[in-house]
Amino acid sequence: MLAWQSARNEARAIRDAVPVSKHGLGSLTEIANMLGAEVWVGNLDPDISGFVVKEANKSPEIFINASDTPQRQRFTLAHEIGHLVDRMKLAEDDDYSFIDHRSSKHYDLHEFYADEFAGELLMPADQFHEIITKGEYAAAAEFGVSLPAVRKRHSRLKKNP
């Protein structure tokens, strides 16, 4: 199974178990908590949207940049949950950290997986295909995400429907 398929499957499994709200961090925080993680929103370096840290024999912690828009915070939290799922379910790691930098120079397979996971968790493909016909702004409003998130999701779904 390819990374994007695995990420989407894991996101669908979580969506089936927990309803994901279309706005705010509430249901996403609930998902993180169910996976054993604490979520913190605070001031981070301007170049960092968020990060997840898991030290051996400790609970994971997810940090979200308070200065980001609510839409960006939603995607970042879903993205960090993607890292959590990747490490817990696929790699069974007990010690890791991932930082979500705003620049793309740190982009690797782990970031790709987390983006695919977040895209499917927040913008399920079946719903996305229907909503995007109304335009990017309508999709962003419907899913409570930013325009760049909608554009990236649209691009990825064109490549791998």
36-89 pLDDT per residue, tens: 999 999 999 999 999 999 888 899 999 999 999 999 999 999 999 999 999 887
Q: Indicate the number of domains in the chain.
A: 1
Tell me the C-alpha distance between 118 and 71, whole Å: 12
Q: 29: Cβ–Cβ under 8 A, 6 or more apart, which residues?
A: 39, 77
Give yes or no for a contact between 106 and 48, defined as CB atoms under 8 angstroms apart.
no
pTM above 0.85, yes or no: yes
97-128 pLDDT per residue, tens: 677 666 666 667 888 999 999 999 999 999 99
Q: What is the CATH number of the domain that holds 136?
A: 1.10.10.2910
Q: How many CB atoms lie within 10 A of CB 109?
A: 9
Q: Which domain holds residue 110?
A: 3-159
